[in-house]
Amino acid sequence: MESETKSNPGQYISEKAKESEKRGHKRKRAQDSFIKMKPNEQEDDWLSLAPRCINVADFAEARATEINTMMKAMNNISGGRRIFQKLPRHMRRRAMSHNVKRLPRRLRARAEAEVQKHKRANKQDSGAAKRSRRHRRRPKNLFAEYERRKRKHIWLETHIWHAKRFHMSEKWGYKIPHHPNEKSVRASYRALAKHCLIQDISYYGVIEVTGPQGYLLKSLAHLTNTDSGLTFASLSYLGGKRHGTTMLYQYDKYPYSAISVVNFLWKCLSCECDDRVAIKEETNTDAADKFSSTESRQLWMWVHPSSYETVLNEIVKMFHAKPVMEKMKKKRTQIDKGSDGVEDTGDESSLDFTKTDRQFKNSCVHIRTLKFDLLRFRLQGPLSHSVLLDVLQSAEVKCSDIEECEKMKWWESYYEDTQNAAVHDRQKEVWKNLKNIRTSSELSPGCVLSLTVKDPRLLLPQKKTKVMTAVENTTEPLANERIDLCRRFPDGISQSPIWEKKARKKASVEKFSIDELNKKRAEHLIPGTVLQLGREESRIPILLLHNPGKLEDVKEQMSCQEMQNSLGFGGGWDIVIPSGWGMAFWIALIYRGARAGGEREAQSASAQQGLPYFPYDFPDTLAYNETSNLRKNELESKYSRYPPDKRTNYAKFGVVAPFCSPWEQLVVEWNDTSVSISAKEQTSSIDVDASEMVLNELKVDDMAVTDSVPRDAVYVLRSRSRLRHLAKSCHRYKNMGKDCITSSLSSVLKGDSHALVCVSLRMVHRGVPALFGMVCLADSDDLQQLYRDKNYGGPLETLHKDPSLILKKLDKKCKKRKTKLDTEVKAALVAEINASNSLVSSVKNSCNRQIIGYVCKGSHTFSTGTGCALAYCTIPGLIKMLGDKPASCHAVVLVRNIKSLQYRFAYLSVLTKCW
């Protein structure tokens, strides 16, 4: 095809080509080659530059890919659709997928092929799953399927019960119930405050350490620090009467590198009788003695799954222990033992305790993971005591007539020992006396009781009932015993067979099967009465760990009336049972009216108590970093899914970090400013505010003290004494002067300028602080306005400018006017955008008020009726705030959420007990 034109369109074409070249269209460039230009034509005639002819083959070739995609698109409207779905509407017929003949003839062959393909695919990848429902639901197949699904994430024993009722989340290698499907936020709170809230927290794994006491204590002292509270070596816990909680750090790294909060319990000293315990106690008061004792002791540590491996590795490394191949060895010993050993290969494989339990050993210390051996349920609320009293009944362990031929039950062999039997009798007595107590908060905090109880399935009520405390069941003569019990929880009653692996396992294996139980029930003469199985009945060793709930220091309470919260809130019992018994106990507890909660409820319970929750509220731990990174990715991806006009423009709100809290940068910036101030001070002798002076001192001290640690290493201040000092200065005080407070603070907090402090916030008026909310310093103007007008809501942040939006707008304008954007302006804007993206810009001064910290957890709390939050603040920021604070007022800061411009006032108080 050839065309001749007199005018000169070539100019136009070439210009267009140039433009397309700029855009990077390669096709157009190729076009130039086949558009043959006629040389030496008159220049003024624009038609002369028009192509004379078009070579069809070349023309098509240059557009080959486009034509190709067009053809493909025509053939195949969009992926994943069946052929009959591509028909225009008027040609569609009912049941086309079922009957090929309903399609137009030209499409039948293809439809047939599609059907065959689907059949094949189904057969290949999920043969069993596509079997009939009846086949799939057969117990054997169902359990096989469960086993398969368990492989990826560990299931709790109550998994199936929860999976039917809860949203499950996959976290830390477990399937963890997150929250119930029913509307239950307020109901769960009510259960917590008035009745009983129960959670399955079996995902807390146990690490068992056995070894000589002195050696253990000396070694473990490297992982803990007495400054941050009571440790493993505390006399409160060493006797095994109480369980404790402590913070673990990496070997000798305190205060840096925190690992995890662990709950621990020493095995009770095997007391022959009471007087020996008494002697022991007398001698134990000597501190040196407990470190030199060589008695073999057993320690259990409950560790959150997010940090389980880290803790285990740290402990193993510390003891230089070597892993032990357990399974092989154990089997051999079993065979050796013969009659004594457990002869239940079939049962064992189905229960599968030693799935991945590992052991480590050195010359004297034995470390064992008991991830699958023990379950733990947490009961919180005032009626948890009554619920447990109803569920747990001490079993009869007197073995009266054992026929020789019969195999010994675990409890028969254990309680043959008269001492053990005596302990059991005492435990029984104590449990009986505990019936006179209405709530567990009357008991000494953290006490431990162990029991051997009856099978809870036998005592199940006919219907689900709500256990309440009986109105009258106290009798006067018991009053003294009650007082004794409350004052001094008896010694030696935490001794339990649950500590012994063999007993524990046998207790699980010898479980009376539910099938047999039902058969017995059917044969039972009087329905509704308790089934008496005698010797056949299972006995289960359990541990009860007391949780005191919210504790308050009398001193703090006095000085801070506003923060007063109900004492003992969220207290209750934790129950530890051997594996295999989870569902039996769970159902029994639920049938007594305990309300089940998931992880969300656990978090909200800790929020109501104003306590941090591991790992979300421990920003210096590895587990926090991991979870916060996960959370960040999740939030970011969700944010980017929304169109720009349907999501918050954080740049406009002046929020630098909407998806995570930049602790390191905040701390570094607060420390840098103090240096710059000091430099300024040297050059010009202006009077600097007292608080700033303090900051400078702090900084200088810090530089002197900590040279070896990295500059941006952040840790949380957990030293009790220093925290108490800080907490005191947050309250209103009358006698002391301002200078006195700030100067004493500086001396106390020497070298801690890189630390974060856990604070609790309570809103003064309105507002609910939320995650990532910014804790800011209030101006003196703000404070004065607040003191003048009691209803003053708080200042507003001025709306920021978003450089990327401005750039977009300018671009649009330029396009409309067909002019070019000034390169300098553009470059400046792009630089600004980059700066804001890379977080290089200042965090501290990113909005009108200086940021001193971030909220970790914030919500409306029912217990106070206001918004409350848990936040971490930098020390220089806190000191500055306290320096400006009038003595007659409680410390007040501003809090702003990431989705709001409104600052709100909040009372700030420092938490002294951080877990």
Partner 1 sequence: MAEKEESQEKRAMPQIDENEYILRKRLPRRLPKRKNDIYVNRKTNFNAQLERSQKLFDNGYDVVFIHGLGAAINRSINLALQLKIRGLGSLEISVNTSTVELLDDLEPNNDDLEPDTQLRTNSAVHIKVYKLALA
Angle between the N-to-C axes of helices 690-705 and 738-748, in degrees from 0 to 180, rounded to the nearest 10: 10
E strand or H helix at 56: helix 56-62
Cα distance between residue 618 and residue 754, in whole Å = 16
What is the contact mask toward partner 1 in residues 538 to 567, using x (rule: CB under 8 A)? -------------xxxxx--x--------x
**Which of residues 444 and 743 has its CB atom nearest to partner 1 in the complex?**
444
Residue 563 Cβ, how far from partner 1 at the closest point, in Å?
13
User: What are the angstrom distances between the C-alpha of 112 and each of 115, 119, 127?
Assistant: 5, 11, 22
E strand or H helix at 301: strand 296-303
Which of 20, 169, 226, 900 is close enough to bind partner 1 by CB under 8 A?
226
Under the binding rule (CB under 8 A), the answer on residue 382 touching partner 1 is: yes
Residue 382 Cβ, how far from partner 1 at the closest point, in Å?
7
Q: What angle do CA 640, 642, 645 make, to 5 degrees?
A: 115
Of 269-328, which residues contact partner 1 (CB under 8 A)? 281, 285, 287
Residue 903 Cβ, how far from partner 1 at the closest point, in Å?
29
Stretch that binds partner 1, among 306-314, 401-409, 438-446, 770-778 (CB under 8 A): 438-446
Residue 268 Cβ, how far from partner 1 at the closest point, in Å?
16
Cα distance between residue 293 and residue 216, in whole Å = 10
Which of 138, 331, 488, 680 is close enough to bind partner 1 by CB under 8 A?
488
Residue 239 Cβ, how far from partner 1 at the closest point, in Å?
9
Cα distance between residue 843 and residue 665, in whole Å = 7
Residue 901 Cβ, how far from partner 1 at the closest point, in Å?
35
User: What are the angstrom distances between the C-alpha of 331 and each of 287, 367, 579?
Assistant: 43, 19, 20
Residue 257 Cβ, how far from partner 1 at the closest point, in Å?
22
Which of 439, 744, 842, 848 is close enough to bind partner 1 by CB under 8 A?
439
Of 585-624, which residues contact partner 1 (CB under 8 A)? none
Task: Burial-class residue 588 by CB neighbours within 10 Å (0-12, 13-18, 19+).
Answer: buried
Residue 614 Cβ, how far from partner 1 at the closest point, in Å?
21
Residue 231 Cβ, how far from partner 1 at the closest point, in Å?
6
What is the contact mask toward partner 1 in residues 239 to 258, using x (rule: CB under 8 A)? ---x----------------
Under the binding rule (CB under 8 A), the answer on residue 233 touching partner 1 is: yes
For residue 177, the SS3 value is strand
Which of 234, 393, 785, 900 is close enough to bind partner 1 by CB under 8 A?
234
User: What are the angstrom distances between the C-alpha of 508 and each of 74, 344, 397, 541, 872?
Assistant: 66, 11, 17, 10, 45
β-strand partners of 858: 869
Of 851-870, which residues contact partner 1 (CB under 8 A)? none
Which of 341, 445, 658, 793 is close enough to bind partner 1 by CB under 8 A?
445
Please answer whether residues 551 and 353 qualify as being in contact, where contact means their C-beta atoms are separated by less than 8 angstroms.
Answer: no
Q: Which residues of 301-312 are buried (b: 16+ CB within 10 A; e: fewer)?
A: bbbbbbbbebbb
**Which of residues 440 and 665 has its CB atom nearest to partner 1 in the complex?**
440
Cα distance between residue 641 and residue 240, in whole Å = 53
Stretch that binds partner 1, among 344-352, 479-487, 801-809, 889-897 (CB under 8 A): 479-487
Stretch that binds partner 1, among 163-171, 234-242, 525-533, 707-715 (CB under 8 A): 234-242
Residues ≥6 apart with Cβ < 8 Å to 68: none
Which of 236, 333, 465, 798 is close enough to bind partner 1 by CB under 8 A?
236
Under the binding rule (CB under 8 A), the answer on residue 160 touching partner 1 is: no
Cα distance between residue 646 and residue 576, in whole Å = 49
Under the binding rule (CB under 8 A), the answer on residue 433 touching partner 1 is: no
Cα distance between residue 586 and residue 161, in whole Å = 9
Residues ≥6 apart with Cβ < 8 Å to 298: 208, 209, 210, 266, 267, 499
**Which of residues 39 and 865 has its CB atom nearest to partner 1 in the complex?**
865
Number of residues that bind partner 1 (CB under 8 A): 38
| Contacts to partner 1 by CB under 8 A | 226, 230-231, 233-236, 242, 281, 285, 287, 382, 438-439, 441-442, 444-445, 469-474, 483, 486-488, 551-555, 558, 567-568, 720-721
